[in-house]
Structure 1
């Protein structure tokens, strides 16, 4: 387990910012055990993933290796993709426009769009984790908060790069296993016009910004504990640790905008959940043995994905 030194720093409102030493969990770690979903003789083994994790950690599980060697299908974690049907070259040409879309409309700065108390908190954290980066001051709050969050993770020895996915994909390829990606796909018509429209769109993203700052100020020590607990497979510790997540507020800020509503980008969490559940049930019906991944927070929630499968008559066994 990592030994983290807590070094307090003054914050604008008098509270302390905790500067974590680099997480020392490294090398090969087993991660948690697997959840078992079954109906009759058909079994779906589910691996609970976590982000962020120690950036110098390698995941290796003999239990998972044995299951993958016997599996007929792998169901990946759910996601969202956007298809603009424009090709690689035209996509590259649109990058400058995409970068401009991160900026506040009409050239506004963060200090112009944020309440004074929120901007004061941002300024302290920015100095700590981003230094003198002036460009980010022109960004919309949601994008600026994301940049700050990633910098805070890096300074704490954590990374959002997945450690499970690449290992599972490599094993699936080695064994010739069918892989299913339950992805909610959206078609973006006239991408250039869509980018221009987004540049003019206002986002109600102050709650996303506020919760991201809250998490950086208050949750970094717990992130380190969760990462270490996951690494060594301590599911009980993961259950006991509070789990804060600003992502839902940020997703709501985007999907609630008129730009997103016009394109059907509403109720994304429910759509993503249903996509994974459909893929999981199909795998269970079709295959004797299947393997899947889901964020471990979903597996630990009493009303998460597995509870819905259980309500349909599937047997659930926790590790």
Structure 2
């Protein structure tokens, strides 16, 4: 099976949040990371008392200086065929002049060419080395083989990749085979906006050159840990293919919070030197983009991953600290 260039780039770049440069110092020992780490949660969320849950996904209204910002939390992946409706979001879209979506990646053709001519920037094995599955510990090999068979894949698409990247490629392949979309709900909200003539804009862009260059610097131990995280997430998705989507579409925030905290990539970055600081920077950039929207009059809608939105000192807490008022809008 020949994987399209765009798919290879996308899978490799799934390591955006975990391929931070590795320092010359010996990294700290890897810690066991829970699938859904317990976070004290945003003080804003904890303070909300919603008596009757209106239809549709959870939606927050952020107000500051006369400007209004409606924030919808995303929890990918969601079922491809998930049907949901939100009267509140529809009304907000009728008033909005801008929809903000998560940051986009920016990479030039020269960087892409160099990435593949050099064997994936170090995230692929050197030619004639053992295939991936032959290099894995027995327990991980068994889980990996079982997962790719569930995804309907042979060993060929993954054989030359290092464990971390292979794990994320397989996770994406499995979700596609299982009818789960990593692009939703952002793609759905984009279509809603375009139908109503509302401008759509990414919160920011980030350069991928340094990330591509550092993708091969994860240690062997870290690579295996990232693969374990990806397989654990895959197995969870396989056991609960529709639960998350149903709860998300119904605005059942408590149930979503019980099962959703961060992606495998985000958990991996916590293992890497400088990883927590990188995640904090990404949360800060999202909060800055939303604060900028609040500095102009009118109505804006923003889509923010719940893993960035809900934690203590996450996006909601930072918006409140900047002087914004956050409430659950009336139906």
**TM score, norm. by length of structure 2:** 0.68
CA shift in 2, pair 1:169/1:267, >3 Å: farther
User: Which deviates more, 124-133 or 308-317?
Assistant: 124-133
Whether 1:83 and 2:137 are equivalent positions in the alignment is no
Q: Could you tell me which residue of structure 2 aligns to residue 316 of structure 1? A: 326
- Determine which of 90, 107, 110 is the counterpart of 1:65: 90
Helix, strand or coil at the partner of 1:175: coil
Match of 2:72 in 1: 47
Q: 1:171 matched to which residue of 2?
A: 193
CA 1:303 to 1:175, structure 2 compared with 1: closer, same or farther past 3 Å? same
Say whether the 8 Å CA contact 1:74–1:180 is kept in structure 2. Answer: yes
Query: 2:295 is matched with which residue?
Result: 285
Q: Deviations over 1:185-212 (max 9, x none)?
A: 22739xxxx97x6697555322110111
Q: CA shift at 1:292, angstroms?
A: 0.9
**Mapping 1:1-319, distance limit 5 Å:** 31-79=56-104, 81-84=105-108, 86=110, 96-97=116-117, 100-101=120-121, 102-105=123-126, 107-168=129-190, 171-172=193-194, 174-177=196-199, 179-186=200-207, 188=209, 201=217, 203=219, 204-222=222-240, 224-241=242-259, 243=261, 245-251=263-269, 267-318=277-328
8 Å CA contact 2:174–2:234 kept in 1: the answer is: yes
Q: Is contact 2:65–2:294 with CA below 8 Å preserved after alignment?
A: no
Preserved contact between residue 50 and residue 230 of structure 1 (Cα < 8 Å): yes
Give the Cα–Cα distance (whole angstroms) in 1 for the partners of residues 61 and 324 of structure 2.
Answer: 10
Structure 2: segments with no counterpart, 5+ residues: 1-54
Aligned partner of 1:24 in structure 2 is: none
**Which residues of structure 1 form unaligned runs of 5+?**
1-29
Structure-1-length-normalised TM-score:
0.70
Computing the radius of gyration from Cα coordinates, the structure with the larger value is: 1
CA contact (8 A) 1:58 1:163 kept: no
User: How far off is 1:296 after superposition?
Assistant: 2.7
> SS of the counterpart of 1:283?
helix
Shift of 1:279: 1.3
Larger RCO: 1 or 2 (CA < 8 Å, sep 6+):
2
More moved, 292-301 vs 266-275: 266-275
Give the superposed CA RMSD.
Answer: 3.4
Change (3 A) 1:166 1:55: closer
Deviation by residue 1:29-69 (Cα, 9 ceiling, x = unmatched): x7414101112432211011221111123554332222122
Task: Flag the structure with higher strand content.
Answer: 1
Count of residues paired in the alignment: 271
